[in-house]
């Protein structure tokens, strides 16, 4: 998650969030089409990476959308 936060600072939070979301979506499809336990484990690992990218960007995006009064 720290790496995703740094990448969000470098490339933009929206871009990193969308990358994480697309990686999670691709890995979810890969889970559905898996035909072995090894392929399922790899796809779940990719889902975890995509989720880490998304979750680390959500808080930064929310802080920018709703600034304190």
Condensed to tens digits (0 to 9), the pLDDT of residues 17-45 reads 999 999 999 999 999 999 999 999 999 99
pTM: 0.85
Q: What is the mean pLDDT of the chain?
A: 91
Residue 50 confidence class, pLDDT cut points 50, 70, 90? very high
Residue 68 confidence class, pLDDT cut points 50, 70, 90? confident
Backbone φ, ψ for residue 36 (5° rounding): -145, 165
Long-range contacts of range 45-51, CB-CB < 8 Å, 24 or more positions apart?
Answer: 49/20, 49/23, 50/20, 50/21, 50/22, 50/23, 50/24, 50/25, 50/26, 51/20, 51/24
- Which tokens sit at 35? 């035909």
Radius of gyration of the chain (CA): 14
């Amino acid at each position: 998650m720290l790496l995703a936060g740094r990448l969000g600072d470098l490339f933009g939070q929206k871009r990193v969030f969308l990358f994480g979301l697309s990686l999670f979506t691709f890995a979810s499809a890969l889970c559905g089409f898996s035909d072995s336990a090894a392929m399922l484990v790899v796809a779940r690992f990719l889902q975890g990476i995509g989720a880490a990218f998304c979750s680390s960007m959500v808080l930064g995006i929310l802080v920018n959308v709703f600034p304190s009064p």
